[in-house]
Amino acid sequence: MKVIICGAGQVGYGIAERLSQEDNDVSVIDTSASLIAAMTETLDVKGYVGHGAHPDMLEKAGAEDADMIIAVTLYDEVNIVACEVAHALFSVPTKVARIRAQNYLKPEYADLFSRQNMSIDVTISPEVEVGKMVLRRISFPGANDVVKFADDHIAMVAIECMEDCPVVSTPLNQLSELFPDLMATVVGIVRNNLLIVARSADQLQVGDLAYVICQREHIRRTLGLFGHEEQEARRIIIAGGGNIGYYVAKTIEEQQPRMRLKIIESDRERAIAISEKLRNTIVLHGSALDQNILTQADIQDTDLMITLTNSDQINILGAVLAKSLGCKSNLVLINSTSLHQITDSVGIDAQINPRAVTISRVLQHVRKGRIRSVYAVQNGAAEVIEAEALETSPLVGRTFRELDLPDGIRIGAIYRGDSVIRPDGNTKIKARDRVVLFATADAVRDVEQLFRVSIQYF
């Protein structure tokens, strides 16, 4: 696939890195020569210095035969125009635009980015996507990751096996027998930094990170089964009042008004602006690294500190400082993949990788076949995929016992009608079923083939 990416910042770099690893033909446009130089030196991509919305730059980058344009500059208007130009002059089939300003995304303007109004097929808002992930992590304490599939009826939950985890050393097939009404399947295990696809005879060990696909209503019960009984936070401090912090605070005010919420924002004008928009949130002007500010915010009585600034260093240090002053737990936004490995050793309870969220949103439009949703885990080592089965799929009509699935794939749940099905040996996939599965990076191509649109379908 030939892809043009406009914008070589953190978001653009992450997308280019992943797509180039999969042998796609990737071209990147940015006005910054230094960003383009850094990208072309480290990735197998072509770089062009210039304006991503200008026709001559798009032509130079190969827009005439491009399959997709992904416009992720810092400026919404540039992203919109880049997609419009790519459509009008070069007929690029798929156009993706990053939209940061929430004014564009209000429900009353939902038709703005519909195809009849604008030549944009997909809009992505990393800030909103990360904000939603933060809210899910608040709702399900004890989970390392929570992502919804199948219209929110199915969830993927990443859970760490602690020393008091009651399911340790129990074969996974026995868990199904012990808890027959629990709609949950362990699909992947990370042990000693090595990811494996779970099999029925496998046993979980202390320190494992288990990826579980379950029915949405069974998330809390699944967490409890793994020994996680943490209470939902009632007193929360957010460090960083940018787009993500504001989105999280506003949503909490609307959905959980009894929560006691405070924001620490270092920019005075921004602090004033969000304090005027938020009704029940206390906004403090200062640094999350200032012990006096944290004390003023009653950090010692806080259940959860969430650090969402633009600086990984401030996020990590602020979270560590908060815990040292008595905060019960922390949740940290970390952009740099190189810093993810050190979090356990410095006292970080949970972290969010915004790159994974954004890349996952793009991947579902890169994948072939009837792929409805994708979420990349472990820096792209595997993906949780929701795909729709067609009449021509080789999976349809045969029991799981008869299926010879390729290595690296484990099916976790099936959504049929309004029901969630936990598969067993006698389960048969039917046409139009939505299948949620776990696949290693090497097996993704096999997944595309299993859910491909055959020519006989037309």
All structural domains of the chain, each given as residue ranges with its CATH number in brackets, are 2-124 (3.40.50.720), 235-327 (3.40.50.720), 357-457 (3.30.70.1450)
Report pLDDT for 267: 96
Report pLDDT for 21: 87
Convert the pLDDT of each residue in 22-64 to its tens digit.
Answer: 889 999 999 999 999 999 999 999 999 999 999 999 999 999 9
pTM of the predicted model as reported, rounded to 2 decimal places: 0.86
Q: Which stretches within 179-311 are classed as H helix?
A: 219-225, 243-255, 268-277, 291-296
Report pLDDT for 455: 42
pLDDT < 50: residue spans in the chain:
455-458
Report pLDDT for 341: 65
Q: Which stretches within 278-353 are classed as H helix?
A: 291-296, 312-324, 343-346
Phi-psi category of residue 133: left, alpha or beta, with phi > 0 → left and psi -120 to 50 → alpha: alpha
| Main-chain dihedrals φ then ψ at residue 56, nearest 5 degrees | -65, -35
Report pLDDT for 367: 82
Report pLDDT for 387: 94
In the DSSP assignment, the letter for residue 232 is P
What is the rounded CA–CA span in Å between residue 432 and residue 415? 9
Could you tell me how many residues make up the chain? 458
What is the rounded CA–CA span in Å between residue 47 and residue 221? 49
Report pLDDT for 340: 62
